[in-house]
Amino acid sequence: MTRSVASLLLFAMLVAGCNRQDAATAPVPDNAANASPVAEVVRPRGAERVVLAFGDSLYAGYGLDRGQSLPDAVQARLRRAGINATVVNAGVSGDTTAAGRQRLAFVLNQMKQKPELVMLGLGGNDVLRQISPAETRANLTAMVEELHRRELPVLLTGMRAPPNLGPAYVGAFDTIWPDLAERYDEKLYPFILDGVIGNPALMQGDRVHPNAQGVARIADRVTPLVAQALAAAPAPAPVSASR
């Protein structure tokens, strides 16, 4: 989402109308004011659990200090819960679903350890550029199918179109993520900016990207889904220190 400030502001004003509350999982208290999104030094238990966060600027941490991105915040919460998780940040600012589709296999092939879960968060730049929802759907479907081919569970973090783009566009765009989650039996957080966009206290000056407090609120809601997915997967065997 690295377009002109004017475009970003327009997008923010439009998407603010989409700020609806969804229950992707059991309610999680919004304690962002007291939670730090910066990764903490802790002593988690068990073998390392690797999660790949594959997305755009909302994953990359656009406009934030190092250690304040959403993957960092999710990792910190998992470790505070005693889960020895490493969340690998593969977010690239400006990526569309087409760009993500092109680089997904390369990123997976370069990982030293196979992830147990892939957080997939793309689509914001598609709606910013008003790319056809059919194209967005095709790209996301191809990525989910590639992950299925590799036997990798997926957590979809969805996006929504602003109502000003018209009911036809909104209807075609907003149904992409629920349809994919149902079709492939994957976990879904319907709207990644839910409860954050439209709140100046939780957003950066561009009105599109969350600030550290906004990231904390998103992480509070997304982390339980990540933890559930890891609990459902068999833990890898610990790697021996001696070789």
Which are the catalytic amino acids? 57, 206, 209
Task: Find tokens 């479907």 and name the residue.
Answer: 141
CA distances from 70 to 20, 51, 58, 67 (A): 20, 12, 7, 9
CB atoms within 10 A of CB 66: 9
217/179 Cα distance (integer angstroms): 25
> In this structure, what token pair is assigned to residue 103?
């680089």
CA distances for 240 relative to 44, 47, 104, angstroms: 17, 10, 30
CB 57 within 8 A of CB 2: yes
Tokens of 193: 């900016």
Residues whose CB is less than 8 angstroms from the CB of residue 3 and which lie 6 or more positions away in sequence, other chains included? 128
Looking up tokens 């021996």 gives 240
Helix (H, G, I), strand (E, B) or coil at 227: helix
Task: Give the C-alpha separation, 110 to 212, whole Å.
Answer: 29
The three-point CA angle 229-179-9 to 5° equals: 90
Q: Rounded CA gap, 181 and 156, in Å?
A: 7
